[in-house]
Chains A and B, each alone.
Chain A
Amino acid sequence: MKKQIIVLAEHRKQQIRDTTWEAITAGRLLAEQLGAELSCVLLASSVGEMAEKIAKECPTVLAVEDPRFETFNSEAFIKALSAILADKGPYMLVMGNSNAVIDLAPGLSVALDAALATDCFGFEVQDGKPLALRQIYSYKVNALVSFKDAERIVVTLRGGSFSFTPSEAAAGKVEKIASPLGDEPLRKRFLSFVEAEKGDVDVASADIIVSVGRGIGDEPDMDVFQSLADAMGGVLACSRPIVDKNLLPKYHQVGTSGVEVKPKVYLALGISGAFQHVGGIKGNPLIIAVNKDARAPIFRVAQYGIVGDLNQVVPALEEKIKELKG
C-alpha cells in the first residue's frame, strides 16, 4: 500500500486556522520526500466552504460532518479519527501543535497504536524513513528523533516552522464520508468560550515593549522595570512565569496563550525565548535581548543582545536613555 501523509485540518468558529496551512506545507514536503500521497481530513459541524478552501491546496479532502465536531472536543475527535484511519496505513498524520491538538494527539496516538512526536520544527528522511527535529531541555538542545519501524506515525508541528505558499496545482477533490460517531454520549462536553479579562494596559497596541521573564529572579523589584519602560515611553509586558508568580496580571503576558503584540521595538529582559512566548510577537519588530545565559533561545530571534546581569544592565540602561533624552 502506498504511504500516505494525512493532515488534520484545524478550525475555530467555522474558520480554518493557520496551523492547517502550515501542516499542509509540512505534509507536501514529507509527501515529496517519502513518495507518499497527501490528503487532508476535515471534521466539522459544517464542512462546505472550509472543505472547498482546503481542496485548493490539497489533492484530496476527506470531509466529515457532525455537530459534535463544532469545537475540538478531544474525545469526539479521537473516536472519529481512530475509526476513519483504522483501515489506512502506512501513514503519517500531521497536525499543528496548537492548544486544541495538544488535547487530542497523545490519546489519539494510543488509539491508533502509532508513534508520536510532538512540537516538531523540521523533518529529515533517511533510508526512506522520516525523522523529526525537536527541541528539548528548555528548548536549548536540538534532537533528531526516529520512530523506529512504526508504520503509523503522528506528528505535531511547532507554530511558524513551515511557512505556507499557495499551491498552483489544480484544485483537489472533496470526498464526504459519514460520521463514524455512534449515539453513545460523550463524557467530555464543551460549555462555552470564555474571554480573558481586559486590563488597564493594552500591550497589544503598544509600539515599544519592555518584557520581563523568569530570569529577573524570584523576588524582583518590578518598579525597576516599570521605570525603564516609562523612560522608554513604552509599556511593561512579561512571559508566563511572571504571571504564574502573580508579579503582573495575565493581560501583560505576551505569547500564544497570552496576548499577541505587534510593536516596533521589543526589549526582552531575562526571557529565555520559549516558542510559546516568541509566537506571540508578530510583525517582525526589532528584538533586543538581555540574558545571562548565552544559549538562551531568545538570542536566536533577537537582532541585538547583551549577555549579562540584569541588575547591572537595567539601571545603567535607564540612566543612558535619560541622558539621551536630555
Chain B
Amino acid sequence: MDIIVCVKWIPDTSEADLAIDSGGKDIKKDTLDYDVNDWDRFAVEEAVQLKEKHGGTVTVVTVASEDAEEMLRESLARGADEAFHLCDEAFEASDGFATARILAQFIKNRPFDLILTGTLAEDDGGGQVGGMLAAMLGIPSSTLVSKIQGQDGKVTFQRELEGGLYEAVEMALPAVLSVATGLNEPRFVSIRAVRKVASIEIPVLGLGEVGLDGSQVGAEGSRIQIEKLFLPPEGEGAEIIKGSPEEAAARLAEILKEKGGIG
C-alpha cells in the first residue's frame, strides 16, 4: 500500500503565554516552539505501521516554512521513505481551502492508495484539509479514524461518534483518512535515527514547481480571512485563589468541604 501523509508544522500554544501582534490578526510567534501537530504524528506512525504490515511506501508532505525540515527528518527517522517540503512565501496565510489546493495539486499526478492526515490541527482547529483534499481529488474521506485495516483495494476502520459510540465503516481505495489521536503509540525517535536519514534529500518545491499561481494560494487564494484577534479576559468566570501552594490548597480544601466535594 502506497501512503501519502500530510503533516502540519505548528506553534505549541497549549501552555504558552500568548499575545496578539501589532497587526492584530495574528499572535506573536517569535518566542514559541514549533513542532509537528500532535494529530499528524499519529498519522505518520499509522502509515509506517501499515507499511510494516502490508508493504508499500510512505511519503510525507507538508506546506510549511523552512524550519519545518526538522519535522520531515523526524518522519523519515520514524520510517517514512521520502518527504517533500512545499515551501514558498506565497503559501503563507493560506487557509484550509488554499492549503488543500496546494496539496491536491502536488498529489494529483502521483500514485497512491491512501492519504492520511490528522483530523485537525491545534493551531487553527479547522479540521478542513483532509475532507477538502479528498473532494478536490474526487475520492472518499473520513475523519476521527482508528483501527485501520487494509485489504483488497479497500479499508475498514472505526470512526468516533459522541458518547463512547463508534461506527465501523468500509471504504474503497484510494481514499483520505484523517486519524484520531491515540489510535497507535508513536514510537520514540532517537537523535541517532534522525542522523541515519540525514543523507536523504528532501525536495523543496515552490509555487511554480507545484504548478499554481499566486492568486490560488495564500491570503488571496483563501476563502476565509481573519479580521481581528482578541484574547478573552484572563480568569473570566473563575475566582482565583491566591497565596502560596499550601495556603491555596488549604482554602480549596475548605471550599470542597463546604460544597460537598469531600465524600
State whether these chains interact.
Answer: yes
Whole-angstrom distance from the CB of A242 to the nearest CB of chain B? 10
- The answer to whether B236 and A300 have CB atoms under 8 Å apart is yes
Q: State in angstroms the CA–CA spacing of A288 and B172 once bound together.
A: 47
Q: Is B171 an interface residue (CB 8 A)?
A: yes
Q: Of B10-18, B68-76, B86-94, B192-200, which binds chain A?
A: B10-18
Q: Which residues of B128-164 have CB atoms within 8 Å of chain A's CB atoms?
A: 128-132, 134-136, 139-144, 156, 158-164
Q: State in angstroms the CA–CA spacing of A150 and B119 once bound together.
A: 25
Q: Which A residues fall within an 8 A CB radius of B? A: 12, 71, 74-75, 78, 98-100, 102-111, 114-119, 131-132, 134-148, 150, 187-196, 207-208, 214-215, 231-234, 240-241, 243-244, 246, 250-251, 256-260, 264-265, 267, 272, 286, 288-289, 292-295, 297, 299-309, 312-313, 316-317, 319-321, 323-325
In the assembled complex, 16 residue pairs joining A and B whose CB atoms fall closer than 8 Å, in A order, are: A74-B142, A99-B159, A105-B128, A107-B132, A109-B128, A116-B128, A143-B226, A191-B167, A194-B165, A196-B164, A207-B263, A232-B261, A293-B16, A303-B238, A316-B248, A320-B253
- The answer to whether A294 and B234 have CB atoms under 8 Å apart is yes
User: Which 10 A-B residue pairs are closest in the complex by CB-CB distance?
Assistant: A233-B263, A106-B131, A316-B249, A244-B182, A320-B253, A110-B135, A312-B245, A265-B261, A115-B223, A196-B164
**Chain B: interface size category:** 35 or more
Q: Is B191 an interface residue (CB 8 A)?
A: no
Q: State in angstroms the CA–CA spacing of A187 and B250 once bound together.
A: 60
Q: Is B237 an interface residue (CB 8 A)?
A: yes
Whole-angstrom distance from the CB of A308 to the nearest CB of chain B? 6
Q: Given A141-B20, A246-B185, A303-B237, are A309 and B245 also a contact pair (CB < 8 Å)?
A: yes
User: Residue of B at shortest CB range from A104?
Assistant: B131
User: Residue of A at shortest CB range from B170?
Assistant: A189
Q: Which residues of A contact B175 (CB under 8 A)?
A: 187-188
Q: Is B239 an interface residue (CB 8 A)?
A: yes
- The answer to whether B238 and A304 have CB atoms under 8 Å apart is yes
- The answer to whether A138 and B225 have CB atoms under 8 Å apart is no
- The answer to whether B167 and A321 have CB atoms under 8 Å apart is no
User: Residue of B at shortest CB range from A253?
Assistant: B164
- Binary flags per residue of B214-235, CB closer than 8 Å to A gives 1, else 0: 0000000001111111111011
Q: State in angstroms the CA–CA spacing of A106 and B168 once bound together.
A: 21
- The answer to whether A136 and B165 have CB atoms under 8 Å apart is no
- The answer to whether B158 and A188 have CB atoms under 8 Å apart is no
Q: State in angstroms the CA–CA spacing of A292 and B28 once bound together.
A: 20
- The answer to whether A145 and B224 have CB atoms under 8 Å apart is yes
- Given A148-B224, A304-B239, A324-B253, 7 extra CB contacts under 8 A: A99-B144, A132-B224, A145-B225, A191-B168, A215-B15, A232-B256, A300-B237
Whole-angstrom distance from the CB of A89 to the nearest CB of chain B? 15
Q: Which residues of B contact A117 (CB under 8 A)?
A: 224
Whole-angstrom distance from the CB of B79 to the nearest CB of chain A? 20
Q: Which residues of A contact B125 (CB under 8 A)?
A: 118-119, 134-136, 139
Q: Which residues of B106-132 have CB atoms within 8 Å of chain A's CB atoms?
A: 119, 122-132
- The answer to whether B248 and A306 have CB atoms under 8 Å apart is yes
Q: Which residues of A contact B97 (CB under 8 A)?
A: 109-110, 115-116
Q: Is B241 an interface residue (CB 8 A)?
A: yes
Q: Is B252 an interface residue (CB 8 A)?
A: yes
Q: Given A189-B171, A265-B261, are A136 and B124 also a contact pair (CB < 8 Å)?
A: yes
Q: Given A106-B129, A142-B230, A234-B263, are A304 and B241 also a contact pair (CB < 8 Å)?
A: yes
Whole-angstrom distance from the CB of A243 to the nearest CB of chain B? 6
Q: Given A136-B124, A300-B237, A303-B239, are A308 and B135 also a contact pair (CB < 8 Å)?
A: no
Q: State in angstroms the CA–CA spacing of A320 and B254 once bound together.
A: 9
Q: State in angstroms the CA–CA spacing of A320 and B70 once bound together.
A: 47
Whole-angstrom distance from the CB of B238 to the nearest CB of chain A? 4
Q: Select one of B124, B131, B256, B261 contacting A103, CB under 8 A.
A: B131
- The answer to whether B131 and A146 have CB atoms under 8 Å apart is no
Q: State in angstroms the CA–CA spacing of A301 and B232 once bound together.
A: 12
- The answer to whether A118 and B261 have CB atoms under 8 Å apart is no
Q: Which residues of B contact A98 (CB under 8 A)?
A: 162
- The answer to whether B181 and A195 have CB atoms under 8 Å apart is no
Q: State in angstroms the CA–CA spacing of A193 and B123 once bound together.
A: 32
- The answer to whether A187 and B132 have CB atoms under 8 Å apart is no
Q: Given A75-B140, A99-B144, A99-B162, are A145 and B156 also a contact pair (CB < 8 Å)?
A: no
Q: Is B23 an interface residue (CB 8 A)?
A: no
Q: Which residues of B contact A105 (CB under 8 A)?
A: 128, 131
- The answer to whether B15 and A286 have CB atoms under 8 Å apart is no
